[in-house]
Amino acid sequence: MKYKTEIVDEYLTEVGVYVRDPNRADILRELRSAIADELDAQAEQLGRPPTADETAAVLDRFGEPSTIAARFAAKPRSFTVGRPLIGPELFPLYLTFLRWSFSITAAVFAVVMIRQIAAGHDAQTVAQRVFGFPGVFLPMVVQLVGTTLAFVVWERLVAPRRKRWTARRFASLPPPRRAIAAAGATFALLAIGWLLLPDAVDRIPGRVVRLTDGWRAFHLPVFALLFAASAYRIALLRWPLLWRYVPAIRFAISVGALGALAVVRLGYPLAVAQATASPRAQFIVMILNAPTVLWWLWLYFAICAFGYGMSLKKTQDSDL
């Protein structure tokens, strides 16, 4: 049985996730005050403090977190072509997704550009390749169209069918988060499977490919991190209250990953192929040793560490 303050805290944390208003802290402060008034009135009426269920019923009246957040938006925005295709509840999430997606693409292209120039390619040619069509524009257009279509489908098909929200459902994650957690856990498990591949290759009779000590040094920390990444998502599905600790967990995992990748870099090459190795074995070795993969991972975890670090700071700043 949860105490009312805990449920209220969870509710406000959830609302805070969706509020994209400069006055976010003030909005949450007012909501907290209003909820406390309602609960006090109910306690007075009942002659005792409201139970967890009664508290949840009060929160239900305040509405689903994403809905009330959308109503508080200074100018509720939506993607409209004749009629709203992505409504005000999903629109902030759509924008956030696009922002991250574009930022990562731009950052990857920037890194590739710098590396090519550093490797002695002509700067003007590299710039023309990146900024000329298709260059950086094609992946961005694909992302824009793909993301928009995905959100339109979500708005039309998924959103109307979801069950009515109730604060009691803090016993389970809201559907988008459940999907994100499940997808993340699956991805981490698949990555663990992929990492087992070189071990399998190492055991191929004839042993034309040999894993170096660098690979073994890289193995353990990355396995540990992927396991942590998968385990916490599975734990989230079981204990949704852990969601509030996600920024801290992700920050720790990202910083750990940056450290692990540094170990990987020191261990290069990770695998060597004998001259007699088949083209397929040579290819696997090339993939394992590809520094570009490492750069992508570095970039990804650096962005994650920065993003989650900032969101940790924001949580502390607006701690109510």
Q: CA distances (Å), 96 to each of 104, 112, 174, in order?
A: 12, 24, 18
Q: How many residues bind to another protein according to rule CB under 8 A?
A: 18
Nearest distance from residue 126's CB to another protein, in Å?
48
- State the pairing for strand pair 209-211/271-273: antiparallel
Cβ-proximal residues to 194 (8 Å cutoff; 6+ apart), any chain:
none
Alpha helices in the chain (DSSP H): 4-18, 24-46, 52-62, 65-72, 91-118, 123-131, 137-153, 175-202, 213-238, 246-266, 279-289, 291-317
State yes or no: residue 37 binds another protein (CB under 8 A).
Answer: yes
Report how far apart, in Å, the C-alpha atoms of 8 and of each of 18, 315, 320 are: 16, 16, 11
Instruction: Indicate whether 150 belongs to the interface with another protein (CB under 8 A).
Output: no
Which of 11, 72, 151, 251: binder of another protein (CB under 8 A)? 72
Smallest gap from residue 122 Cβ to another protein (A): 54
Q: Does 273 help bind another protein (rule: CB under 8 A)?
A: no
Contacts of residue 47, defined as CB under 8 A and 6 or more positions apart, other chains included, come to none
Q: Is 71 in the site for another protein (CB under 8 A)?
A: yes
Distance CA 138, CA 130 (A): 10
Residues 93-112 touching another protein, rule: CB under 8 A, are: none
Q: Is 62 in the site for another protein (CB under 8 A)?
A: yes
Q: Is residue 41 close enough to count as binding another protein by CB under 8 A?
A: yes
Q: Omega into 65 within 30° of 0, i.e. cis?
A: no
Tell me the closest approach of the beta carbon of residue 39 to another protein, in angstroms: 10
Close Cβ partners of 221 (under 8 Å, ≥ 6 residues apart): 256, 259, 260, 263
Q: Which sign does the torsion angle of CA 248, 312, 245, 93 carry?
A: negative
Check binding of 27 to another protein (CB under 8 A): yes
* Coil, helix or strand at residue 210: strand
Smallest gap from residue 32 Cβ to another protein (A):
9
* Span near another protein by CB under 8 A; candidates 63-71, 134-142, 182-190, 193-201: 63-71
Q: Is 164 in the site for another protein (CB under 8 A)?
A: no
Question: Is 46 among the residues that bind another protein (CB under 8 A)?
Answer: no
Task: Note whether 18 binds another protein by CB under 8 A.
Answer: no
Minimal distance, residue 14 CB to another protein, in Å? 14
Q: Which of 1, 74, 118, 275 binds another protein (CB under 8 A)?
A: 74
Q: Of 67, 116, 282, 318, which one interacts with another protein (CB under 8 A)?
A: 67
Q: Does 31 bind another protein (CB under 8 A)?
A: yes
Residues in touch with another protein (CB under 8 A): 27, 29-31, 33-34, 36-38, 41, 61-63, 67-68, 71-72, 74
